[in-house]
Amino acid sequence: MKVTLIVNPVASSVTKRTRQVIQKALSADHDLDVQETKARQDGTGLAAEAAANGAEAVIALGGDGTLNEVANGLLETDCTLGILPGGSTNVFARSLGFPNEAVEATAIMLDSMAENKPEPASIGKANGRAFLFHVGAGFDAAVVSKVEEKGKLKRYIGHPLFVASTFTTWLGEVDRKNPWFDIITDDDIIIRDAQFAVALNCNPYTYMGSRPLDLAPEATLTTDLSLIVLTKLSFRRLVPVISRAIRSKEGIANSDATKHLSNIKEVTIAGHRPFPYQLDGEFFDPVHSLELESVKDALQILVPPKKPVNTSEN
């Protein structure tokens, strides 16, 4: 198989040793080309170029942001997407069932490549850009922005930094009184004056260590989008939501301040003023509106091989 490996050399868990082991393993049975990203968004162009030059598979080694870039470069091509975890959280790779360690994941990836049975996967789009697991607006994105401000600290203390950033953002760095936007779905559901919105293409929302934060367990790569909206960010409202996501696998429940919608094909987030947003954990400049949509079978993805079912009787 003709394979291109796109590496983010500054991703949290990408080391020289890790790269050498992975490249040796992939090149043993495949025609391997290796490319490095040097700046943000490089992955998109490198992936598109690889597909145009005949690559059958493009594998991203980096965090969720690198993976998002590579996925965007493979849209509307016949090239298969592969994922190796190289970041601090690696939400999408883990949601597919890959281990959170790149060399171990490579062995499973090689098994998947040997089977050569990639699975079709739906994506979400936000203002035309693809996202693989979620897009967040409002408070969610403000937290991501706070994490990104810490730069190199993210490489070493990813999860504690996220928790600390959530609290510092809530305590004094976000306007909790004035709502950011309204939500309008394609079937005319309207949610007024929201502070937080996350559209999920799959579950979980993220991981805290080994524990998934399950906002919408029904969201999979074969369904349309799920949507979680909060209209209030008071301590009394926010803590039960976080607690339920950590402790329960049932997802976020509906209440007077929390809405949970499923199987949404299109969503408009209409701002009262410019609002921040993030795609797959990467912060983007504030916008006045976001147009979200679900796109069926937009990518072919290498996933861990399914274990055979033992049908023998004892």
CATH code of domain 129-296: 2.60.200.40
Q: How does pLDDT run along the chain (314 residues), one tens digit per residue? A: 999 999 999 998 899 999 999 999 999 999 999 999 999 899 999 999 999 999 999 999 999 999 999 999 999 999 999 999 999 889 999 999 999 999 999 999 999 999 989 999 999 999 999 999 999 998 778 766 555 655 554 544 455 545 554 545 544 555 667 888 999 999 999 999 999 899 999 999 988 888 888 999 999 999 999 999 999 876 667 767 767 776 778 888 888 889 999 999 999 999 999 998 999 988 899 999 999 999 999 999 999 998 654 545 44
239 sits in which H/E element: helix 235-247
The pLDDT of residue 208 is 80
Cα separation, 3 vs 18, whole angstroms: 18
CB 215 within 8 A of CB 205: yes
The pLDDT of residue 309 is 45
β-bridge pairing 211-213 and 206-208: antiparallel
The pLDDT of residue 22 is 97
224: Cβ–Cβ under 8 A, 6 or more apart, which residues?
A: 122, 262, 263, 264, 265, 294
β-bridge pairing 80-85 and 57-62: parallel
Q: How far is CA 123 from CA 81, 224, 271, 272, 279, in A?
A: 13, 9, 23, 27, 12
Cα separation, 4 vs 271, whole angstroms: 40
19: Cβ–Cβ under 8 A, 6 or more apart, which residues?
A: 7, 9, 61
The pLDDT of residue 288 is 96
Residue ranges, CATH 3.40.50.10330, the chain: 2-117
Scanning the structure block, which residue is given the tokens 């016949």? 78
Expressed in percent and rounded to 5, the helix, strand and coil fractions of the chain are 30, 35, 35
Q: Give residue 278's identity as a one-letter amino acid code.
A: Q
Cα separation, 231 vs 191, whole angstroms: 8
Cα separation, 158 vs 156, whole angstroms: 6
Cα separation, 78 vs 67, whole angstroms: 17
What is the number of other CB atoms lying within 10 angstroms of the CB of residue 110? 16
Cα separation, 162 vs 172, whole angstroms: 16
Q: Phi first, then psi: give them for residue 131, nearest 5 degrees.
A: -130, 145
The pLDDT of residue 310 is 52
CB 159 within 8 A of CB 208: yes
Please work out, in degrees rounded to the nearest 5, the angle formed at the alpha carbon of residue 214 by the alpha carbons of 212 and 220: 105
Cα separation, 124 vs 200, whole angstroms: 8
Residue ranges, CATH 2.60.200.40, the chain: 129-296
For 122, the 3-state DSSP assignment is: strand
The pLDDT of residue 171 is 43
36: which strand partners?
7
Q: Which CATH superfamily is domain 2-117 in?
A: Probable inorganic polyphosphate/atp-NAD kinase; domain 1 (3.40.50.10330)
Cα separation, 295 vs 314, whole angstroms: 45
